[in-house]
Amino acid sequence: AQRVTQPEKLLSVFKGAPVELKCNYSYSGSPELFWYVQYSRQRLQLLLRHISRESIKGFTADLNKGETSFHLKKPFAQEEDSAMYYCALSRAVGNNRLAFGKGNQVVVIP
């Protein structure tokens, strides 16, 4: 079964500092990877997906199949980035059963 690991529960960074959220997965096939985000008092929503290869709100994530990782990065954190971030994996594009990691709480200190 596929598994997603997000090692750090809480990450505190100063505004303007780089932020990196780690995500490692265990699955031997060709998975589809996602980052979902939940801002305070808002619904959980998609942030980005690896097949889109785009930057959303300054965040990027690269799928590294060799290291089975999909780390989320942003060079300069903003206060509005404070949120809960979940990494998620599907076994294949179009397979609609996602496995979520346990999440990272990010706090950006002004």
Partner 1 sequence: DGGITQSPKYLFRKEGQNVTLSCEQNLNHDAMYWYRQDPGQGLRLIYYSQIVNDFQKGDIAEGYSVSREKKESFPLTVTSAQKNPTAFYLCASSTGQFNSGANVLTFGAGSRLTVL
Question: Which residues form the interface with partner 1 (CB under 8 A)?
Answer: 6, 9, 32, 34, 36, 43-46, 49, 51, 86, 88, 90, 93-103
- Beta carbon of residue 79, minimum distance to partner 1 (angstroms, whole number): 23
Would you say the C-alpha torsion 64, 47, 44, 77 has a positive or negative sign? positive
- Beta carbon of residue 37, minimum distance to partner 1 (angstroms, whole number): 11
Helix or strand holding residue 109 (H, E): strand 104-109
Cα dist from 18 to 10, 26, 74, whole Å: 15, 26, 6
Residue closer to partner 1 (CB basis): 29 or 97: 97
- Beta carbon of residue 75, minimum distance to partner 1 (angstroms, whole number): 26
Residue closer to partner 1 (CB basis): 45 or 64: 45
Structure tokens at 105: 């709480």
Q: Measuring CA to CA, which residue among 14, 12, 20 is closest to residue 75? A: 20
- Beta carbon of residue 15, minimum distance to partner 1 (angstroms, whole number): 26
